[in-house]
Structure 1
Amino acid sequence: MAKFMDVHRGMVGITPDQLHEAHEADLRIQDQEGVRFEHAWADPESGVVYCLSEAPDKASVQRIHERAGHPADEIHPVPLEV
């Protein structure tokens, strides 16, 4: 499976609890698309949230985020890592 980093914008003021709940919403349904969400980060000041996942393709990542109520603004493949 490939890795993806997605970006969500417009989440100014997101709290740790809200980030946790959004991540949990993804985790509850991720198996339906063969996605594995690994981690999420947020900057409450700028409102940007980042999520790292493994998935068959970026469309499956977006479908999970949409169904969980927070579609990604950008999804980038991450083909190299160290």
Structure 2
Amino acid sequence: MSKFMDVHHGMEGITADELARAHQADLDIEQEENVHFEAAWADPESGTVYCLSEAPSAEAVQRIHERTGHSPDEVHPVPLQI
């Protein structure tokens, strides 16, 4: 399994509750694509949201997010971690 960081733009004003609900929606179905969303961060001012996941592919990450109604604008592999 590989790690991925996905980025969502255009989410200005997102609240902690909205971020938690979106993250939970992903967690609720992540096993269907063998994905695990580890964490999510948001900057309400810029409208940027970041999600860290472990998944078999970027496409699997994309499909889960699409199904929960918040498609990422970018999905990046994260091959190195310290």
Q: Structure 2 length normalisation: TM-score?
A: 1.00
Counterpart amino acid of residue 60 in structure 1: A
**Once superposed, which parts of structure 1, at least 4 consecutive aligned residues long, lie more than 3 Å away?**
none
Counterpart amino acid of residue 38 in structure 2: E
Unpaired runs of 5+ residues, structure 1, are none
Q: Give the Cα–Cα distance (whole angstroms) in 1 for the partners of residues 14 and 35 of structure 2.
A: 24
Unpaired runs of 5+ residues, structure 2, are none
Please give the root-mean-square deviation of Cα atoms over the aligned residues, in Å. 0.2
Counterpart amino acid of residue 60 in structure 2: S
Look up the match of 1:7: 7
Q: Give the Cα–Cα distance (whole angstroms) in 2 for the partners of residues 81 and 38 of structure 1.
A: 14
Counterpart amino acid of residue 62 in structure 1: Q
Look up the match of 1:71: 71
Counterpart amino acid of residue 31 in structure 1: Q
Question: How many residue pairs were aligned?
Answer: 82
